[in-house]
Structure 1
Amino acid sequence: MAGEIETRLAELGVTLPEAPAPAANYVPYVIAGDLVHISGQLPMDASGMVKGKLGDDCSVEDAAAAARLCGINLLSQLKAACDGDLERLVRVVKLGGFVNSTPDFTEQPKVVNGCSDFMVEVLGERGRHARSAVASPSLPFGVAVEIDGIFQIK
């Protein structure tokens, strides 16, 4: 029987993919006490990665959609960390957003809202979190955004 979070994902038409494997020498998540620290997730789905640089060849709207994909991948990693049971989630504690930006681009918060809004849409009050949204001169594979997170579980 699907839990509340899985039901909400289904209502939104979101199917969580298998948790992506690490792309280098790190682990996808670390559990420390009741906190799960999830490594940065890229905007990737079955059609590939969303690439681009804000202020150059990527719009805020496209990058916000990419940030939403990062949120989906964060929940995939969280599900793996919770042995498949997302109902163990107590709350999203913090998200860290990195936006591939030109030096004059200043709308990083609007980009990372794509992930933040998704967390609240799926998780309600459990999805409200602290956050950072910072510019980066480049990101792995040329992606538009990368987001990591800290989640409290039971």
Structure 2
Amino acid sequence: MSNYSEVIGFVKNQFDNKAFIPLHEPRFLGNEKKYIVDTIDSTFVSSVGAYVDKFELMMSSISGTNKSVAVVNGTSALQVALRLAGVCNGDEVITQGLTFIATVNAIIYNGATPIFIDVDIDTMGLSPSAVDGILLDFLCI
């Protein structure tokens, strides 16, 4: 899908003529309900427990790493990723304005300042030409 019209067409095709498209519709296709009940019964429903350990081991295996760490949500994942990339207090991080607030929160939580640039009209993603422009501006400083 290379442009906005194709993306809209794809979404419309997936949902036909439904009057209501649920934002968060749970889909249980396997043992999810059993795992949820197991977790609740274990009293470990946050950051520790057998399923967290199993998930981390599986992610390590998939990614070919020695260690993986599960975090509570996407904001935390972005915050940790930025920190591991070396972002710290006083840095500036380029991001697009068309994003979920978690992106900006993760930047700010690391003490950095978000620098907003435009999105590409065809992909609705980060605009490469806008990145070029902002980097050229910084080189001239």
Greater length-normalized contact order (CA 8 Å, ≥ 6 residues apart) = 1
TM over 0.5: no
TM class by smaller structure: under 0.3
TM-score, normalisation: structure 2: 0.27
